[in-house]
């Protein structure tokens, strides 16, 4: 499931929904592969040791050990990167760089196995050719399931191995070698079809889950995060601020006399008002660590991480200036709404919780709403 922080990243990127979901799916594929980095390391090492052990009586030991050492080094580096990247939370901004690391490591390992097909092939020795082909075929076949969770990792791994092996078999006269050379392309064609099916099914499952999660976290009227996403994100940012000793600000705003918009103009106008206010709040939640959300009927929130009281006050002033500009430029028959705003800033401690900052901001909003009602109780909408 997506984290609240990840969802905040998505809604602040400005990408269209389809692009966001596709990137998120690719990130899920990458995390799955990185989390199984130890399996990749052990499978490469075990197959490499088996190959070297089987060819030890027939080939120079120095060449075998040098190849095995480079293979171990490359795959150990891959494992180290997998441990690092697999422990990170999903971040779609890093998908291209993480994908490049995966592809680079996969290709490097494949080239080493392809080199084995050239360096360790012994002509006129059908038994050794069979053994070498068996190890290489087993290695690539074993990678089918895991590497198929990436759109191109599996063919990238197989092609540099299969082509050198097939060339060596074709060049070596003998019925056994010829038979193997004919069977291998057919075998890998079938494996590739299987690989594409694995990827398609897994990708569709991830995308479907992401779409459902997105719908569960977005308000359907305003297309900004809803109360569930707000609660998750506020808790996550509270914990992060507590660890780092940084201030956390929460700004709540309420549309003044919102009920009258629905009563006098209809619910379509009421929804338009909500979307307009959501746009103002989203405009002020500029950073990836900020979130604008609709948390109630006509109530909105802005979470501003690493923001002290002065910074929060600036956000409130910017929000009001933006509202005034929108009101002047409005072409609607209804007056652009005014807002009541409450704000609270805290440096989280172990003695408090995320709910405390919400309660304080809500109390500030209540006071602002009460003041607005006292001043403009009977003022018409416009």
Q: Give the C-alpha separation, 129 to 30, whole Å.
A: 35
Q: Give the C-alpha separation, 155 to 27, whole Å.
A: 19
Catalytic site residues?
298
Phi, psi of 253 (to 5 degrees): -135, 150
294 in helix, strand or coil?
strand
Q: What is the DSSP string of 107-125?
A: HHHHHHHHHHHHHT--TT-
Burial of 79 (0-12, 13-18, 19+ CB in 10 A): buried
The answer to whether 117 and 168 are in contact (CB under 8 A) is yes
3-state helix, strand, coil split of the chain in percent (to 5) is 70, 10, 20
CA angle 320, 280, 303 (to 5 degrees): 90
Question: Could you tell me the two tokens for 264?
Answer: 């006098």
Q: At what angle do helices 126-142 and 153-171 cross, to 10 degrees?
A: 170
């Amino acid at each position: 499931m997506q984290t609240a922080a990840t969802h905040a990243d998505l809604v602040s990127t400005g990408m269209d929904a389809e692009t966001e979901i596709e990137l998120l799916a690719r990130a899920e594929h990458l995390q799955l592969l990185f989390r199984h980095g130890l399996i990749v390391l052990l499978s490469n090492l075990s197959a490499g040791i088996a190959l070297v052990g089987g060819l030890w009586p027939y080939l120079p030991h120095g060449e075998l050990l040098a190849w095995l050492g480079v293979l171990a080094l490359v795959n150990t580096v891959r494992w180290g990167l997998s441990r690092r990247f697999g422990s990170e939370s999903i971040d779609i901004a890093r998908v291209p760089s993480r994908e490049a690391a995966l592809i680079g490591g996969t290709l490097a390992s494949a080239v080493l196995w392809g080199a084995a097909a050239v360096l360790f092939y012994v002509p006129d020795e059908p038994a050794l050719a069979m053994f070498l082909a068996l190890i290489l075929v087993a290695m690539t076949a074993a990678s089918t399931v895991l590497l198929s969770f990436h759109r191109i990792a599996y063919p990238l791994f197989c092609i540099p191995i299969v082509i050198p092996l097939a060339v060596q078999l074709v060049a070596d006269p003998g019925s056994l070698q010829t038979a193997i050379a004919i069977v291998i392309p057919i075998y890998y064609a079938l494996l590739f079809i299987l690989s594409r099916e694995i990827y398609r099914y897994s990708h569709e499952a991830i995308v479907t889950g992401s779409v459902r999660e997105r719908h569960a976290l977005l308000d359907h009227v305003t297309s900004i995060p809803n109360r569930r996403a707000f609660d998750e994100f506020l808790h996550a940012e509270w914990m992060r601020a507590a660890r780092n000793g940084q201030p956390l600000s929460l700004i709540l705003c309420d549309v003044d006399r919102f009920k009258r918009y629905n009563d006098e103009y209809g619910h379509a106008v009421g929804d338009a008002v909500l979307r307009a206010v959501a746009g103002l709040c989203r405009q002020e939640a500029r950073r990836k660590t900020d979130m604008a959300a609709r948390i109630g009927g006509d109530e909105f929130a802005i979470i501003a991480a690493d923001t002290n009281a002065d910074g929060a006050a600036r956000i409130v002033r910017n929000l009001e200036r933006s509202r005034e500009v929108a009101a002047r430029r409005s072409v609607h028959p209804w007056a652009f709404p005014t807002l009541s705003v409450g704000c609270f800033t805290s440096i989280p401690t172990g003695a408090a919780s995320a709910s405390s900052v919400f309660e304080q901001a809500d109390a500030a909003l209540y006071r602002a709403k009460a003041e607005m009602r006292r001043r403009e109780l009977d003022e018409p909408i416009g």
